[in-house]
């Protein structure tokens, strides 16, 4: 499932945008304030956020920075009647997915919304792979992790036994346990799990 969020203090803009996107099957959630969005955002679903610049309280630019700083993954598309080159450059520099001035041709908006959701879908899949890998690797004992690292490096049983000062038989037991715990059929899969678990973390944990 995917979602498109719209934050705009103009009810007419919210209604027309929701109608346009809903007409081609998008699940659209509209809000007048940023607070309403924060209470409804579903981080386990691919989505995008269409955001106005002028909002009550926090501006659109400030809210975009808040989202990035607090680890919200949602791609932000600015759509505003009050844009200029400097503001656009600032928004994109701060991580916005795109920036448009109203009125925007409907087909162009649909294309960019679909592109943003596709991008977020890829990011969500990568995050889920990382979470799974971290969980699997965390299930290993310290010794099993050492054995895993040497297995990935291509070391044979005897070399691993020598490096860790344990018997070859013990190494074989650890190798079997590592494969079972990681649910891997070969070293390539094991290496991928280890790499995903050790990759630089994605967006940090959201503020509560």
Q: Is 105 exposed, middle or buried (0-12, 13-18, 19+ CB in 10 A)?
A: exposed
With tokens 């070859």, the residue in question is: 168
**Do the beta carbons of residue 4 and residue 21 sit within 8 Å?**
yes
Give, for all 208 residues of the chain, the pLDDT tens digit: 789 999 998 999 999 999 999 988 899 999 999 999 999 999 999 999 999 998 888 899 999 999 999 999 999 999 888 778 888 899 999 999 999 888 778 899 999 999 999 999 999 999 999 999 999 999 999 999 999 999 999 999 999 999 999 999 999 999 999 999 999 989 999 999 999 998 754 444 454 4
Q: What is the CA radius of gyration of the chain?
A: 23
CATH of domain 2-130: 3.40.50.2300
Instruction: Name residues whose C-beta falls within 8 Å of residue 15's C-beta, 6 or more positions apart in sequence.
Output: 30
pTM: 0.80
Q: Could you identify the residue written with the tokens 């975009």?
A: 64
> Phi/psi class of residue 110: alpha, beta or left (left: φ > 0; alpha: ψ in -120 to 50)?
alpha
The CATH fold assigned to 139-198 is: Arc Repressor Mutant, subunit A (1.10.10)
Domain range list for the chain:
2-130, 139-198
């Amino acid at each position: 499932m995917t979602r498109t969020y719209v934050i705009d203090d103009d009810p007419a803009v919210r209604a027309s945008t929701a109608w346009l996107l809903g007409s081609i099957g998008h699940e659209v959630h509209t809000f007048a304030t940023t607070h309403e969005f924060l209470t409804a955002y579903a981080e386990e679903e691919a989505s995008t956020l269409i955001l106005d610049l002028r909002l009550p309280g926090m501006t659109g630019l400030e809210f975009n920075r808040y989202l990035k700083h607090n680890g919200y993954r949602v791609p932000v598309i600015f759509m505003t009647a009050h844009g200029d080159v400097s503001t656009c450059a600032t928004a994109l520099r701060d991580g916005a997915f795109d920036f448009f001035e109203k009125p925007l041709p409907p087909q162009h908006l649909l294309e960019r919304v679909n592109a943003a959701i596709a991008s977020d879908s890829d990011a969500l899949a990568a995050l889920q792979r990382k979470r799974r890998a971290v969980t699997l690797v965390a299930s290993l004992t310290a010794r099993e992790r050492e054995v895993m690292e040497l297995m990935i490096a291509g070391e044979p049983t005897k070399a691993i036994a020598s490096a860790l000062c344990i018997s070859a038989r013990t190494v074989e037991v650890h190798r079997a346990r590592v494969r079972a715990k990681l649910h891997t059929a070969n070293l390539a899969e094991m290496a991928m799990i280890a790499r995903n678990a050790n990759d630089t973390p994605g967006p940090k944990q959201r503020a509560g």
